[in-house]
Structure formats: structure tokens, C-alpha cells
Amino acid sequence: MSASLFFLIPLLPLLGFLINGLGFPHIPKSLAGILGTLAAVGSFLLSLMAFNTFVSEGSQPMILPLFDWITVGNLNIPFAFQVDQLSLLMLLIITGVGSLIHIYSMGYMHDDAGFGKFFAYLNLFLFFMLLLVLGSNYVIMFIGWEGVGLCSYLLIGFWNKNNSYNDAARKAFIMNRVGDLGFLLGIFTIITTFGSVEYLEVFSQAAGFQVGDPIMVTITLLLFVGAMGKSAQIPLYTWLPDAMAGPTPVSALIHAATMVTAGIYMVIRSNVLYTLAPGTLEIVGIIGAATAVFAASIGLLQNDIKKVLAYSTVSQLGYMFMGLGAMAYSASMFHVITHAFFKALLFLGAGSVIHAMSNEQDLRAMGGLRKKLPITFLTFLIATIAISGIPPFAGFFSKDEILAHVFEHNKILWVLGVLGSLMTSFYMFRLLFLTFFGEFRGSQAQADHLHESPASMTVPLIILAVLSAVGGFIGVPEALHGSHQLAAFMDPLFDTSRQVNPAAFLPTALSHSEEYLLMAVSVAAAVIAAVMAYVMYISKNNVPASDRVEKSGIQKLIYNKYYIDELYDTVFVTPTKTLSNLLYNFGEFLIDLVVNGAVKLIRFGSGLLKKTQTGSVGDYVFAMVLGIVALLFWKLLL
Amino acid sequence: MLTLILILLPLAAGIITLLSGAQLAKKIALVSGLAILATAVYAWLQFDPAAGTQFSYQYNWLSNGSILFSGGMDGISLVLVLLTTFLTPLIILSAFKHDYKNSPTFYALILFMESALVGVFTATDAFLFYLFFEAALIPVYFLAAVWGGEHRLKVTLKFFIYTIFGSLFMLVALVYLYFQTPGAHSSQISALYALELSAQAQGLIFWAFFIAFAIKMPLFPFHTWQPDTYTESPTPATMLLSGIMLKMGVYGLIRLLLPIVPDGLAQWGMVAMILSVIGIIYGSIIAIQQSDMKRLIAYSSFAHVGLMAAGVFSVSTNGLQGALIQMLAHGINVVGLFFIIDIIYQRTKTRYLDQLGGISQVSPQLSILFMILLLGSVALPLTNGFVGEFLLLSSVFHYDNWLGAVAGLTIILGSVYMLRLFQKSMFGPISKWVEGFQDLTLSEKAVLLPLVVMVFWIGIYPNTFLKITEPAVHQLLTLVK
């Protein structure tokens, strides 16, 4: 496959964006949807071709240069792409899941006045996301990194008549920028240390550093701050639940399957640097584990179908970072892939439900939908089993691989991981039961309107359901007599890391029976939680209490998301506003006073000088200055 | 010679405009603005970055040839001349829909201003530089004082006193330097570069220059004239002030302060750097709560210029190249933003965010162009603001990690106040002030589209401009070190 064909992969969505963006609202809906979708599908087909070429030509990484972007002194930042195992895998996820979501959106957004604009934004998102994973250096990654942030902003606030949606969009952008500052400072440190931002150059130089070198710890920590923002980890996660204000396909594509995994991509891309900084990895692992459990616990009591899924995403991203912390890079990538399948499916399924329920998102108003929405129900069920980690569905393999590595690395984190699994299974089955089982609890109008979604929406659901069911087989561990094709494929990515820190890449010390035991524990946890949910929501037919009922103690704390938003408001937002007012109303006045005072003082001083010292140097200079000014003007006017 | 033509053309055009009738004046002004731009572009095409100062002119002026009327362009001068000549016709066009009284004078003043600005950016004699530096003040002073808002007299007086006060420091320093030159004395800037001054003298001259240029930009704490002046001036004057005139200050730092007093910089550079960084944060924080859109952009401009100065004080290739590219980007963005605010004000008669809302629903074109300029201003990659901010922040970070991190807060704070500005004006329910809002007219698009093209050009292919300035910056840094 030629390089120019390869450049079409990001270019097609960009073209789609330009056509639909400039043509809106003159391009008819039918055409706009098809154009946008074709851009995504075309990009997917080209990605498949690229993948095949890559494998058939011996899996050699390639650099495809376009032009020199920024050249200053000795620093050159080329606009170039790097094609290797990692970028190709990401490419397939982004364009593959992306295509399905484009198709789905043709049905879901059909009645929206901003239909063409929506597709333009989706295409633009694909473009930036592709840049993010294709760039051959950190600054191109940063283009994508900030670009997807912009699209996320535009799409969260897509219905911008509503100011609470706009606030959510703004919060997402600003909180991501907090992370981006860390990322940027990380890039600056990379420039100072290596004099380059190109991956190949940076990593080959990094190989000369010692494990634990402080500069590596600094760089990786700063980059990780960026990951915390983009991938919604503690403490920068609160934007993601609010981001659910956007249309549901957006939540599926951006806030579940692709953009939020950029942080994981970045760490895997920088695996050499992270392997050299075990201190950072400890922090990554701890933050991941804490986020996994914390977010899952909030998910237990949420009643908005999308909010449950949002906290679930935060929590699952936590698992991926937990894996990275244990240097299980390919296992985390495995979870990125399976998660993209089942979480996109869950969101699209939720969208189908919301669509059928006339925009109702409250679980308490649903119930019994499985009869009216059979396809949605069945696919949602598969996704639920997959995310809960029940074999042989996709989530089981990837999550288990992470947990096995974490177990070897740190037993406490493993316990947290299993605890998170238990909660995941509970909140997911709770969601499933409340939505699809029992009696319908909505209004009569909603009941009359209930219908299964059109084919444009159910076909993507079915495809994703198949992937969620069998996707795990790309990484069947040796203990289960598999060959783990994914790990084998990704292996060359970690050559340098292996070289700088061989101890970290020794084959697992766990025996097969130990591995079976670990699997049994986490599967048991998932099943027990599912049964608990069954007892509570099916046998006892419980429905979460209305918001009017006062909650007590820990329930209230969790239901209100531990009051973290309120905490941030009190600690950051309000003081900044107060400071702003203070500086404007008093600071400016004070500075004026001081500067004017200084001027008066100088004048006063010079006055004294003149009086006490007749014929002083000051007088001469002053007279001279005046003379020169006069002379200048006089000469000029002649 | 081309340089002199670029100074004389706007002067001549200004005089013709002044003498013509009210109907014809603005057309003459626009056409001559475009002709001057074409001349500048021609100079750019002829320009060889590696060949040092070009298109020079030189005449005896004062003191038997020791003070020369001389100028020319190296890469640094050229990009600023390009910026000036690019923005001036757009500023002229942006004023068309206003019914300014005495309009021939109004447009003539803009052209006189252009002449003086080109003079500043190309002077190779220190006294000539000073002359143009002062001369540029006069047209904009009148623009603000005659056509400004309600409090114009009080505000412009403050502005005038401030800048004159600063300039006097520079003049004293220049006179001193002139008398230090050997033999029959010379005020050529290159002769001043060759001076060997004592550390003490350098320290004093450092502050004299610093105060003069810091007031012009302005830098913290010399900025209190700026928000009032920007807010009260008629928008074309605000554009001239923020888009081009403040660059005189940054240019002065680069052209005079850095190479003439490198030891002064070594002594006091850290203080200047800290003041610049304080300005970035201080301006950004104040911008967060502003309700008047014009004042909000004024504070944001103040914050941005702080970062440029910080880059210059880092005395590095990244810092200087960043400052230069950021001067272009900032000029383009700030002129665009002020124009958009002017359009909104024209239509709604209000600049207050609390009274606006929902404009994007009635005026999608305006909101898209606004968004693009705003993204440039918050330095989103692939827009013009990113290249400058990236280079500048990296230079400050390299100078001192902590200062770099603090200065970096600008990317967070910038998005806070800019997105608030956008949301409150463009999104949400349509406010009663916005009802009946018309989308962009043809002449408005003619102003905004070239700006937006430049946002992407500089963002996507900054090397066009970085390559022009690279040799000049390199040469300058060799002088300093």
C-alpha cells in the first residue's frame, strides 16, 4: 500500500468534515449522513488494507513524513506518521467502531435539526483521533490530543440552547486543559533532555538511561497528568459523567470507545520511558486502582442510565491504568479493545432505549423493555456479561489478564481490582434488570410510543454484540491453551523496554493452577454480584427510591458522588472568581496609586534637585533632551 | 529604497485621504492600504533571509552625518512590516459601516499611523527609531480622543502621559549611549551594539529601556492605562493599539534592549521575567470575571503580551522565534476578536455578556469565525496561537522550570475566560437584545476571512514565517552572547 493511500486514512474524515461543515445546512440530510459515514467506512477499509500490508511485509515499523511543521534552531518537529503495531491497532478500533457509530447516528439523529453539523463534528473527531495515534512524535500526538478535546467540547454542547449542557462542555474542556498543561510540560522536558520529540529518537536515547532516573520519573509523571485528564482518572475525572449531556452516539464513540483511551495509548507508546520509571508506574497503578473502585462505587447508586455507564467507563479506564502500573502493557491494550466493543455497545443500547422512551434516561421510569425491544435487550445482555467478566465473553479475558499481572505485582491492588469487579457486575446487572425486566414504570404516553429501533441502529448493535462475545479470543492465555495472538503481535513494541529492564519482562511466575484460581475468584465475584442484583431487583422487585426521599449516611454520600464537584467548586472555582473580582476592583486601583505615587515622587525629587543644585547635570541633560527633540522635529520639517 | 517607499506611501495616501471628500476618503484609504500591502508582499518576494538588512535607505540628517535618516529590513523587521500592512487595510475596511464624523481625517490618521509603524520597525538609526516611536502615538491619540467613548478625554490623557513618560526614559538612555560612541559619535543601532559599557551603566539603561517598552506593551505593573484605553477607543483605534502598536514594545526589547545591554539583562533579566509572568496570570485571572467583552479581550491581550516578553527575556532561539510568530498571531487574533465584538455591539447595542446569548442560532457564520479566532487565541494546535505559545512556554520552561509551569497556567485560564465569553454570547437561549440579529455582511466577511486564513496558515505551516526571521534571530543572539 502506497504512502499516499495511507494519508487518505486521516484525510477522508477531514474531507467529510469540510464538506459537511461548509455545506451545512444546504446539504440534504440523507446525503450528509451518507457522506459522513462513507468517510469513516472508507477510512476503515484503508486501515484494514494497511494492516494487511503491514503484516504481509514482515511487520516492519515505518515513518511516513509529510512536511516539516515547526523548525526552530536545532529543534525540528516534522509532520509525520508512524505506522507500527500500536498505531494500526488503534486505527482499526477508531475507524471500525467509528464507522458503526456513524451508521447508528444516521438513525439516532435523524430528526435533529443539526444533523449535518453532527456528522461534520464526528468526522472532525475521527481526523484528530487518527492524528493522535498516527503521529510520529509527541507534538503531533498533542495536536490530536487537544483536537479531540475540542470535538468533545463541541459535541457535549451540541444542543447548545441548553446552558447546563454548555457548562458540561466547558468543564470538560477546561479540566482536560489542566491535564494538557502537564502533558505540555512533559514535552518540554523531553525536548530539554533529548533535543527531539520524535518517538524513535527519544526512545533510542532513553535506552541509555538507568532504571529509576529522576528525569524519566519527571517526564512520565508530567505526561501522566495529561492522561489523567483525557482518560478521566482521579482527580481529573469529574468531567466525564457530565459529558453525558452530549448525544448518545458521542458518548459511545468519544467518551467510551476511543478518546478516553488516549491516555492508555500514550503510556503504551511511551513504554520505554515508563519502564525506566518504576516510581511513576506505582503511582499509575495506585491511581488506576483507586479510580476503578471509587467510580464503580458511585455507579452502584446512579439512576440515570448514561451516568451509570459513564462511571463504569471511568472505572474500566482505571483497570487499564492498573494494568499499565504492573507493566502489563499489552494486557491493557487488550482491555482497550474489548472495552471499545462492549462499552460502545452498552452506550448504543442505552441510546436505543432512550430513543424508544422518548428521551427518558431515568431507570426508575423504565422496566420490562425486553419484550418491546428484543434486539436491544439481547445485545445489551451480551455486553453486560462481557463487561462483568464472565467467560467466555470478551471482558473476561482482558480483565483477567490485567488482574493476573496485578496479582503478581501487588496483592493489595489485586484485592481492590476484584472488589471493583464485584461492583461492576452488580451495577451492570442492576441496570439490566431495572431497564429490561419487571413492569414498565413510565408514563402512558411513553408506553404507547415504545418501539424497537430501526435497522440502521440495530445492525451496529448486533455487530458489536458479536465482537463483545468473541472478541476475547484474540488473547486467550496460554493457561487456557491459547496462544495469545494479540500479545505476540504487540511484542516487538516492547523490545527496547525489555532491553533496559529485563527483570520486568520475565515470564509469569504463576503456575497454571494459580492462574485458574485467580480466574475462579474473579468470576465468582462477578456471578455473586449478579445474583445479588437479581435478588434485589427481580425477586424482591425493588425500585430505587425517588429523589424526594431523604437518603441516609453512606448512601447519601455515594448518591451525591462523594460531593467531589462541590469540593472542587469550593476549593478552585469560587476562590478564582473571588480573586478575579478582588484584583479587578482593588488590585488595579492599588497599582494605579503606587505608579502615580512613584511618578510624583520622581517629579518631587527632581524638583528638589533643581532647587538645591543650580546648574546641575540634571539640568544640562534635560535641556539637551529638549534641544534634541526640537532639533529633530525642526530638521524633519525642513 | 523599498523601505522608504513603504514609509512614504501611507504618508502620501494619508494626505490625499485627508484632502478628499467624505464619500471618497474611505475608498482612497482602502485602495492605498491594499497597494501598500502589495508593495510589502513584493518586498517579501524579493527578500533573502540570509542577506541581513535589505532595501536600505540612508540620508544625512543631524550633526553632520553622525545621526542618519536610515532604515532597512532584516527578517524581524519584514514580518512586522507584513503584519502592519496586512492589518491596516482590514482595519480600514472594518470601519466602513461606521458613520464616523469627519471621516477623511479619521482614515488619514490610520494611514499616518501605518507610516510611523513601518518607520519604527525598519529604522536602523536609534534616534529615527525614537522619532517614529513617538510619532506613532499622535494619530492613535487623536483617534481615541476624538472618536472615542464617553470617558475618552480622561482615559486618553492617562494613556498619553503614561507613554510619554516612558519614552523620556528611552530618550535619555539613547542620548547617553550616543555620547558613548567613539569618534564623531554615531546613533546607528549597529554602533550602539558595539559599545562596551560598564555593568552599572548597563543596569541603568536596562531599566530605562524596560520602562519605555513595558509601558507600551504593556507589562505588569505599567498596564493600568491599557484596559480603559482599549475599551474607550473606537474599535479601529483599539485594533491599531492592540494589533500593531503594542508590538513596538516587544520589538524594542528585541532590537534595542537585548543586544545593547546584555549585562544589564544578566543582572535584571530575572526580575523582568518574573514581572512578565505575573502579568500573564494577573491579566488572565481578571479576564475571567469581566462582563464587558472589549475589556475582557483587553485583559487577555495584556496576558498574552506578558508571555511574549517572557520569551524575549529568556534570550533563546525558541523565545525569540516564539515571540515573533506570536506577535503575528496575536495581531491577527486580537484584531479579529475586537472586530467581532464591534459587530455584536453594532447589532445589539450592548457589549455586556449578561445581556447576550444565543447568537450562534441566528448568526452561524459569525459564530464559526468567532470560534476559529478564539481557538487561535487559546492556542489550539494547528491554529496560529499554538506555535507561538508552544515555543514561548518552552523557552520560559527552559529558563526556569517553575516559572514555565506558572506561565503555563495561561493555557488553562485562557480557556476559562474565552469559553465563558463564547458561551455567554453565542450559546444558550436567545436574549432579547439579540432578536433580529443579522448574519455577516459581505464587507464583514471580507475582513474576517483573510484573518481566518492566516490563523490556519501560521498554524499549519509556520515555517513560512519562522524561516524569514531565523537568520536575524540567530545573529541577534550571537550579539547578546
Q: Cβ of A174 and B416 within 8 Å?
A: yes
Residue A250 lies in a domain: yes
Give domain limits for chain B: 1-256, 261-481
Q: How far is A178 from chain B (nearest CA, A)?
A: 6
DSSP state at residue A551: P
Q: Cβ of B393 and A188 within 8 Å?
A: yes
Q: Which of B172, B285, B322 sits opposite A625 (nearest CB)?
A: B172
pLDDT in tens, B83-129: 999 999 999 999 998 888 889 999 999 999 999 999 999 999 999 99
Residue A377 lies in a domain: yes
Residue A119 lies in a domain: no
Q: Which residue of A has its CA nearest to B321?
A: A72
Dihedrals φ, ψ of B431, to 5°? -80, 165
Residues in chain B closer than 8 A to A579 (CB atoms): 285
Residues in chain B closer than 8 A to A181 (CB atoms): 405, 408-409, 411-412
In this prediction, residues B272-277 reach a mean pLDDT of: 96
Partner B, chain A 183-222, Cβ-Cβ below 8 Å: 184-185, 187-189, 191-192
Classify residue A634 as exposed, middle or buried by CB count within 10 Å of its CB (0-12, 13-18, 19+). Answer: exposed
Tell me the ipTM for this assembly.
Answer: 0.94
Residue A65 lies in a domain: no
Q: Are residues A470 and A594 in the same domain?
A: no
Q: Cβ of A147 and B381 within 8 Å?
A: yes
In this prediction, residues A234-262 reach a mean pLDDT of: 94
Q: Which of A68, A161, A592 sits opposite B429 (nearest CB)?
A: A161
In this prediction, residues B235-242 reach a mean pLDDT of: 94
Q: Are residues A484 and A612 in the same domain?
A: no
In this prediction, residues B156-181 reach a mean pLDDT of: 88
B16 within 8 A of B115, measured Cβ to Cβ = no
The pLDDT mean for chain A works out to 90
Alpha-carbon distance A402 to A395, whole Å? 11
Residue A74 lies in a domain: no
**Which of A545, A565, A585 corresponds to the end of one domain?**
A565
Residues in chain B closer than 8 A to A157 (CB atoms): 423, 427
Tally of CB atoms within 10 A around A509: 7
**Which of B8, B296, B452, B463 would you mutate first to test chain A, the one with the most A CBs within 10 A?**
B463
Name the packing angle between helices B317-348 and B75-94 (round to 10°).
0
Q: Are residues A530 and A577 in the same domain?
A: no
Q: Cβ of B61 and A635 within 8 Å?
A: yes
**What is the domain extent for residue A590?**
566-637
The pLDDT of residue A632: 54
Any idea how long chain A is? Answer: 638
In this prediction, residues A129-145 reach a mean pLDDT of: 96
Q: Which of A73, A594, A631 sits opposite B318 (nearest CB)?
A: A73
In this prediction, residues A310-319 reach a mean pLDDT of: 96
The pLDDT of residue A630: 60
Q: How far is A174 from chain B (nearest CA, A)?
A: 6
Q: Cβ of B318 and A581 within 8 Å?
A: no
**A615 pLDDT more than 60:** no
Residues in chain B closer than 8 A to A173 (CB atoms): 415, 419
Q: Are residues A555 and A626 in the same domain?
A: no
**Which of A72, A584, A600, A635 would you mutate first to test chain B, the one with the most B CBs within 10 A?**
A72
**For residues B80-107, b (16+ Cβ closer than 10 Å) or e, as one string?**
bbbbbbbbbbbbbbbbbebebeebbbbb
Interchain CB contact of A147 with B (< 8 Å):
yes
Q: Cβ of A592 and B423 within 8 Å?
A: no
Radius of gyration of chain A (CA): 29
Q: Are residues A572 and A435 in the same domain?
A: no
Instruction: Tell me the pLDDT band of B371, cut-offs 50, 70 and 90.
Output: very high
Q: Are residues A443 and A519 in the same domain?
A: yes
| Alpha-carbon distances, residue A438 vs A348, A368, A430, A433, B85 (angstroms) | 22, 5, 12, 7, 73
Interchain CB contact of A566 with B (< 8 Å):
no
The pLDDT of residue A599: 67
Residue A2 lies in a domain: no
Instruction: Tell me the pLDDT band of A628, cut-offs 50, 70 and 90.
Output: low
A206-211 contacts at long range (C-beta below 8 A, 24 or more positions apart): A206/A272, A206/A273, A206/A276, A206/A496, A206/A500, A207/A272, A207/A496, A207/A499, A207/A500, A209/A276, A209/A500, A210/A276, A211/A275, A211/A276, A211/A278, A211/A500, A211/A501
Q: How far is B301 from chain A (nearest CA, A)?
A: 15
Query: Nearest-CA neighbor of B225 among B288, B144, B147?
Result: B144
User: What contacts B281, CB < 8 A, 6 or more positions away?
Assistant: B303, B406, B407, B409, B410, B413
Residues in chain B closer than 8 A to A192 (CB atoms): 397-398
Q: Cβ of B318 and A592 within 8 Å?
A: no
Partner B, chain A 60-119, Cβ-Cβ below 8 Å: 67-73, 75
Instruction: Tell me the pLDDT band of A606, cut-offs 50, 70 and 90.
Output: low
The pLDDT of residue B65: 77
Q: Are residues A605 and A484 in the same domain?
A: no
Q: How far is B239 from chain A (nearest CA, A)?
A: 23
In this prediction, residues B156-179 reach a mean pLDDT of: 88
User: What contacts B179, CB < 8 A, 6 or more positions away?
Assistant: B185
Residue A272 lies in a domain: yes
The pLDDT of residue A559: 86
Interchain CB contact of A170 with B (< 8 Å):
yes
The pLDDT of residue A631: 58
The pLDDT of residue A552: 81
The pLDDT mean for chain B works out to 93
Residues in chain A closer than 8 A to B467 (CB atoms): 71
Residues in chain B closer than 8 A to A147 (CB atoms): 380-382
Q: Cβ of A173 and B419 within 8 Å?
A: yes
Q: Which of B224, B317, B470 sits opposite A592 (nearest CB)?
A: B224
**Which of A565, A599, A616 corresponds to the end of one domain?**
A565
In this prediction, residues A223-233 reach a mean pLDDT of: 96
In this prediction, residues B47-75 reach a mean pLDDT of: 89
Q: Cβ of B286 and A580 within 8 Å?
A: yes
Residue A34 lies in a domain: no
**B66 pLDDT more than 90:** no
Alpha-carbon distance A321 to A284, whole Å? 6
**A635 pLDDT more than 90:** no
The pLDDT of residue A509: 79
Query: Nearest-CA neighbor of B298 among B353, B359, B223, B363?
Result: B223
Q: Are residues A560 and A571 in the same domain?
A: no
The pLDDT of residue A638: 46
What is the pTM for the complete model shown?
0.93
Q: Cβ of B288 and A580 within 8 Å?
A: yes
**Which of A524, A545, A565 corresponds to the end of one domain?**
A565
Q: Are residues A611 and A542 in the same domain?
A: no
Mean pLDDT is lowest, of A129-143, A185-199, A605-619, for A605-619
Q: Are residues A550 and A584 in the same domain?
A: no
Q: Which residue of A has its CA nearest to B474?
A: A73
Q: Cβ of A181 and B168 within 8 Å?
A: no
Q: Cβ of B466 and A68 within 8 Å?
A: no
Q: Which residue of A has its CA nearest to B316?
A: A73
B81 within 8 A of B5, measured Cβ to Cβ = no
Interchain CB contact of A569 with B (< 8 Å):
no
In this prediction, residues B149-153 reach a mean pLDDT of: 86
In this prediction, residues A43-54 reach a mean pLDDT of: 95
The pLDDT of residue A633: 55
CB pairs under 8 A between A and B: 147
pLDDT in tens, A111-131: 898 999 999 999 999 999 999
Percent of chain B with pLDDT over 90: 82
Higher pLDDT, A601 or A409: A409
Q: Which of B131, B321, B375 sits opposite A632 (nearest CB)?
A: B131
Alpha helices, H only, A79-232? 85-108, 115-134, 138-156, 163-194, 199-206, 214-230
Alpha-carbon distance B215 to B231, whole Å? 17
Q: Are residues A553 and A586 in the same domain?
A: no
Q: Are residues A577 and A535 in the same domain?
A: no
| Alpha-carbon distances, residue B116 vs B95, B119, B174, B256 (angstroms) | 20, 5, 19, 18
**B160 pLDDT more than 90:** no
Q: Cβ of A170 and B461 within 8 Å?
A: no
In this structure, what C-alpha cell is assigned to residue B112? 499616518
pLDDT in tens, A331-362: 999 999 999 999 999 999 999 999 999 889 99
In chain A, the number of structural domains is: 2
